[in-house]
Amino acid sequence: MHLLALALYHRDGRPTPRVLPFKPGKLNIVTGWSKTGKTTLVDIVDHCLGRRRTPLPQGLITDTVGWFALLIQTGTSRVFVARRHPRTGSTGDAMLVFGDHRLDVPTADQLRVNSNSESIRSEISGRLGIEDHLIHSPDGSAYNVHLGHALPLCLQRQTEIADSGRLFHRQADHEVFTALKNGLPYFLGAAGPEQAARKQQLLTTTRRLAVLRRTFDQARRHASSSTTVRTALARLAHQAGLIAELPASLQPAELETLLHAALETPTHIPTPRAEPGLADRLSAERRTLTHDLGEVDDALRLLDLWAQQTADLTGQLHTQRSRLTPLGVLATRDDGHDTCPLCTQELPEADPAINALSQLARELEQELTDLDALAPAREQSRRTLTAEREQLVRRVRENAVAEQALRDNNRALRRAQDQREQQALVRGRILQALQQPAADDSVDLSALRREIARLEELRGDLQHHVDQDDIAAETEIRLGEVARNMTAWARELGLEHADTADDVRISPTTLNVVVRTSGRRIPLDQIGSADNWIGYHLVAHLALHLYFVEHQRPVPHFIMFDQPSQAFFPEEHVHDAATLEDADWQAVRAYYRLMHEVVTQAEGRLQVIATDHAHLASTPWFRDAVVANWRDGDALIPADWLAH
């Protein structure tokens, strides 16, 4: 989903709208002076795509605009959406039109109310491929994900891109924060309808199994005659362990005795012990062990690099020493006289060059001695790390064995519970049969029994798969893939802590950037300066959206950045950044170069729209990306609109 154009319609009904075109799959830049309407573009897009309450600015827009509209490309088709200005009509009134590549922005007289904001989100959600994925909120409510939950991933207002405490659009709203936190695993592909479908199938199977068991009970109670019923109950009691031995031929009197005995037989079913919270502890231990193993492997690689560098240096020192070997006969005496290294004659005066060469030889010998002295410590460190790694590998294996044992134990628990339930069921049936015999041969008991067994097996398999679904772990894995680009780009921009970071990633719990370095986790709100906050916002959103397009996730494949260069201007309310000489234009260029490179890497699948005071007119790719330059009287609201 890319934006092809944004359109404004005058409230007086004049036919020609104000159209701002965009290039799909490209970097689009709207540059210009302050107070020309650039910042409003994010709110207009948010409003057109179905937001209920949009904080559109009052003033010129309120006085002149009657409708806001977007022309959208989704795959090979187009969608035109338009919504009235909240001051001129119901905020729910909307126009929605679908078409092919010929669909364009209509004239004002073609605007019609044929939809509403809810329909906009529903229709576009379907075209994006957002599936029916039910999310359960902590308050007990449930809702399906839709376009409104994806849009906060695509918009960055001026105040949000420089916010150290929040990463996403409208994240300060608790409801939006909760929806983002619950919906991010789905948009990353860590959770989806298949997990929800498994849970629903498990619930349906359990209910169906309960119904069949009741039906089976009724059929057994009404099977044939009293003797037939009691014979069947006796056999069932034997299968459930309530009757130890069952005679080959059963008489009514014997049946009566056996059934009464079955009612009095105590239950002896061994129940495996289940340690509460063990699964969570094992899962946490596995993650910790995997992390520790990675750190040990990194340390071993550093030792290998150190050893290689030491070997290279030792070789160089030996080469230097071998060159000085012919001078080994040099000797400096206390009286200041030296011996000639060629003829062994005593020199009348000390030769500084000979002294220098002798000193150099001694220094080389000392350096070689020092390097040799370091070798045992390095080898000891290697042995220690290797032993630690072997222990970690052993513990990882033990953890896997423990998890398998836990799964086996859980299955045993379910089997024991099923057996107890079966015995309780049989006792109830026997009691009813002894009190009120019945006669009904219309039900196929064997078919019922087979179906119950099939459903019990199906329920066990479904329960096993539901237990295996670990959405949190899958989310971390996918955010780890996003973190690789975040880390590389943060270093490329020279952001604080990036050069020493193990990685830079998005926290799925705080929904903010976290820098992990030297065993520490540094959240973005503990890193100073607005240029770092903006830089980390850029790398986070660009990396996240590159992941979305590469994995074809159902998220609009565009992102809007408002004023990404604001941290480099000397004034808070700069009129025209293009005229400033003391701004850090190298940093601004680096920000936009990163946007340009990521869009290029996405090969037409990602659209970036940036609004800014900055204008790098001398940079060809920046100049080509400019879709509007609002200076010298040009602005979002045309000048001729203000004359009426």
User: pLDDT tens digits for 383-431?
Assistant: 888 888 888 888 888 888 877 877 777 777 777 677 677 777 777 777 7
Residue 587 lies in a domain: yes
pLDDT bin (cut points 50, 70, 90) of residue 374 is low
Residues 6+ apart with CB under 8 A from 618: none
User: Minimum mean pLDDT among 96-100, 179-183, 219-223, 257-261: which range?
Assistant: 219-223
Q: Span 612-636, mean pLDDT?
A: 93
Antiparallel, parallel or unpaired: β 2-10 and 18-21: antiparallel
Q: State the Cα–Cα distance between residues 626 and 27, nearest whole angstrom.
A: 8
Q: State the Cα–Cα distance between residues 484 and 534, nearest whole angstrom.
A: 19
Residue 321 lies in a domain: yes
Higher-confidence residue of 611 and 140: namely 611
Q: Span 480-503, mean pLDDT?
A: 95
Across all residues in the chain, what is the average pLDDT? 83
State what percent of residues in the chain have pLDDT above 90: 42
Here the CATH number for the domain that contains residue 48 is: 3.40.50.300
User: pLDDT tens digits for 155-166?
Assistant: 999 999 999 999
User: pLDDT tens digits for 243-300?
Assistant: 767 777 666 567 667 777 777 776 655 555 656 777 788 788 888 988 888 888 888 8
Higher-confidence residue of 509 and 374: namely 509
Q: State the Cα–Cα distance between residues 644 and 383, nearest whole angstrom.
A: 84
Residue 637 lies in a domain: no
Higher-confidence residue of 283 and 103: namely 103
Q: Span 430-438, mean pLDDT?
A: 64
| 291, 399: one domain | yes
Start-end of H helices in 189-277 = 193-221, 226-239, 252-264
Q: Inform me whether the pLDDT recorded for 309 exceeds 80.
A: no
| 254, 298: one domain | no
Q: Span 50-75, mean pLDDT?
A: 87
Count of domains observed in the chain: 4
Q: Inform me whether the pLDDT recorded for 356 exceeds 60.
A: yes
Residue 141 lies in a domain: no
| 180, 215: one domain | no
Q: Which residues pair with 80 in a beta bridge?
A: 71, 97
Q: Span 328-352, mean pLDDT?
A: 56
Q: Span 582-597, mean pLDDT?
A: 89
Cβ atoms within 10 Å, residue 315: 10
Tell me the whole-structure pTM to 2 decimals: 0.61
| 113, 72: one domain | yes
User: pLDDT tens digits for 191-212?
Assistant: 876 666 677 788 888 999 999 8
pLDDT bin (cut points 50, 70, 90) of residue 334 is very low
User: Minimum mean pLDDT among 37-51, 94-108, 322-336, 627-641: which range?
Assistant: 322-336
| 625, 500: one domain | yes
Residue 76 lies in a domain: yes
pLDDT bin (cut points 50, 70, 90) of residue 594 is very high
Tokens of 85: 């200005």
Q: Inform me whether the pLDDT recorded for 571 exceeds 80.
A: no
> Which of 76-90, 464-478, 527-541 is predicted most confidently?
527-541
Residue type, 27: L
| 164, 61: one domain | no
Residue 530 lies in a domain: yes
Predicted confidence at residue 343, as pLDDT, reads: 63
Return the CA Rg of the chain.
Answer: 38
| 156, 168: one domain | yes
User: Minimum mean pLDDT among 319-333, 366-380, 540-554: which range?
Assistant: 319-333
Q: Span 169-194, mean pLDDT?
A: 89
Residue 643 lies in a domain: no
Predicted confidence at residue 644, as pLDDT, reads: 54
Residue 114 lies in a domain: yes
Q: Inform me whether the pLDDT recorded for 340 exceeds 80.
A: no
| 113, 175: one domain | no
| 476, 610: one domain | yes
User: What range does the domain containing 174 cover?
Assistant: 146-191+472-630
Per-residue exposure over 357-371, b if at least 16 CB sit within 10 Å of its own CB, e if not:
bbeebeebeebbeee
| 501, 458: one domain | no
Cβ atoms within 10 Å, residue 122: 17
pLDDT bin (cut points 50, 70, 90) of residue 505 is very high
| 513, 602: one domain | yes
Predicted confidence at residue 333, as pLDDT, reads: 47
Predicted confidence at residue 347, as pLDDT, reads: 64
Predicted confidence at residue 335, as pLDDT, reads: 47
Predicted confidence at residue 602, as pLDDT, reads: 96
Q: Inform me whether the pLDDT recorded for 326 exceeds 70.
A: no
| 265, 284: one domain | no
